[in-house]
């Protein structure tokens, strides 16, 4: 097909690769351990499955586009007014809506790098320009991020804990940063992994946004709540931000089954948080085992660990995949490994133990 036939496509699409989701692989005996997408390793609770089955009897009807019941339940859960909440098709869907709402061509979006891969992708798609600030020791350098803000900046993403490194920023440095950000910039605190945090110095974004009109918090049902397949995320921010997110949503983007499952998950929060606690215990076990074997693994507050492997990254990822363990390599930099069940993690640790080229 000649170039002429795609003359109607925006030129920017030529330079943007499609988002690459975490892979699954099959190892010896068909073994497949998926540690490549930071998912919960646990299937849905019976109460959530019941809610899904009940909601599925109404598939002929459009969902409630405004997700009123879920919005009210989230407002109640986080003790915020309902007009401070906007629900979307995954937090990545809301990220795209935020770009649509803020970033005209020529606008800049600032974030640390390396961080969540959707940031550059969605920024470029929107026509905005990405401006990145390097991580320092795999951790957000908020001075560098503040220095990346210009008159053209409209959005700043702060991923806390950071994907893929698992590192965090603490309350004192984050509030000092927020106090420096000018009013023409919206700061989005991406807290997709917030439920896994145990470090008491890490702030809850919901406490920080209240006095700051240009700060909003992004959360998801995909990780701790185990609903990645259903695509439900939400924003908590001031009404002008939440309204902008509602206006930019594709009508009916969050389907009826997803809304029902999210509501049932909020009802089952205590049970789900026990699973999170098990994942946190496993995270600490995995990191300790890797450290004891001489690997370099920064402290992590998320449901994954980051192995700084530099040039050995793809080689080690190949060893994992050959054993049926799918991980997420970033060539030349390092490897992100999600925390799974104890058996999943043991499968990964066995590969790590057998690997000769540890980067200590």
Which residues make up the interface to ligand PMP (CB under 6 A)? Answer: 38, 90-92, 116, 159, 163, 190, 192, 220, 222, 228, 233
Closest to 226 measured CA to CA, from 74, 61, 46: 46
The minimum distance between CB 322 and ligand PMP, in angstroms, equals 25
- Please state the length of the chain: 360
What residue number has its CB nearest to ligand PMP?
90
What's the CA gap between 105 and 24, in Å, rounded? Answer: 37
Give the list of residues 6+ apart from residue 324 with CB closer than 8 angstroms, or none: 25, 26, 27, 28, 29, 30, 31, 32, 33, 347
The minimum distance between CB 29 and ligand PMP, in angstroms, equals 29
What's the CA gap between 165 and 150, in Å, rounded? Answer: 26
Q: Which is nearer to ligand PMP, 90 or 312 (CB)?
A: 90
Q: Which is nearer to ligand PMP, 190 or 312 (CB)?
A: 190
Q: Which is nearer to ligand PMP, 246 or 312 (CB)?
A: 246
Q: Which is nearer to ligand PMP, 133 or 312 (CB)?
A: 133
What's the CA gap between 32 and 52, in Å, rounded? Answer: 27
The minimum distance between CB 53 and ligand PMP, in angstroms, equals 23
The minimum distance between CB 306 and ligand PMP, in angstroms, equals 13
The minimum distance between CB 164 and ligand PMP, in angstroms, equals 8
The minimum distance between CB 241 and ligand PMP, in angstroms, equals 17
Residue that the structure tokens 């029902």 belong to: 260
Q: Which is nearer to ligand PMP, 40 or 163 (CB)?
A: 163
Task: Walk across the sheet containing 186-190 and list its strands.
Answer: 85-88, 233-236, 215-220, 186-190, 153-159, 108-113, 129-134
Q: Which is nearer to ligand PMP, 91 or 255 (CB)?
A: 91
Tell how far CA 99 is from the center of its chain: 16
Q: Which is nearer to ligand PMP, 102 or 222 (CB)?
A: 222
Residue 331 CA: distances (Å) to CA of 41, 165, 285: 25, 14, 26
Alpha helices in 204-268 (DSSP H): 205-209, 239-247, 256-267
State the first-to-last Cα distance of the chain, in angstroms, to the nearest integer. Answer: 50
The minimum distance between CB 230 and ligand PMP, in angstroms, equals 9
């Amino acid at each position: 097909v000649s170039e002429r036939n795609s003359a109607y496509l925006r030129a920017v699409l030529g330079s943007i690769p499609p988002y690459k989701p975490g892979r699954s692989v099959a190892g010896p005996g068909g073994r497949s351990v998926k540690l490549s997408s930071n998912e919960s390793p646990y299937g849905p609770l019976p109460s959530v499955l019941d809610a899904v089955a009940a909601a599925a009897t109404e598939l002929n009807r459009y969902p409630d586009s405004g997700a009123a019941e879920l919005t009210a339940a989230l407002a109640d859960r986080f003790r915020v007014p309902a007009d401070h909440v906007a629900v979307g098709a995954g937090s990545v869907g809301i990220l795209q809506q935020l770009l649509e709402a803020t970033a005209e061509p020529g606008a800049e979006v600032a974030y640390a790098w390396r961080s969540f891969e959707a940031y550059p992708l969605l920024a470029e798609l929107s026509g905005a320009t990405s401006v990145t600030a390097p991580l320092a020791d795999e951790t957000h350098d908020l001075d560098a991020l503040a220095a990346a803000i210009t008159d053209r900046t409209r959005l700043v993403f702060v991923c806390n804990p950071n994907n893929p490194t698992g590192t965090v920023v603490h309350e004192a440095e984050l509030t000092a940063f927020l106090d420096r950000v000018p009013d023409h910039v919206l700061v989005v605190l991406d807290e997709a992994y917030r439920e896994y945090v145990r470090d008491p110095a890490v702030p809850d974004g919901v406490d920080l946004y209240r006095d700051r009109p240009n700060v909003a918090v992004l959360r998801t049902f995909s990780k701790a709540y185990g609903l990645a397949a259903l695509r439900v995320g939400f924003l908590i921010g001031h009404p002008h931000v939440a309204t902008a997110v509602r206006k930019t949503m594709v009508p009916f983007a969050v389907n009826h089954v997803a809304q029902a499952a999210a509501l049932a998950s909020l009802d089952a929060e205590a049970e789900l948080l026990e699973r999170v606690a098990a994942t946190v215990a496993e995270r600490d076990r995995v990191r300790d085992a890797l450290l004891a074997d001489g690997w370099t693994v920064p402290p992590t507050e998320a449901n994954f660990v980051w192995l700084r492997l530099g040039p050995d990254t793809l080689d080690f990822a190949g060893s994992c995949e050959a054993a049926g363990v799918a991980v997420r390599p970033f060539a030349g930099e390092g490897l992100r490994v999600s925390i799974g069940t104890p058996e999943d993690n043991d499968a990964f640790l066995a590969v790590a133990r057998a690997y000769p080229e540890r980067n200590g």
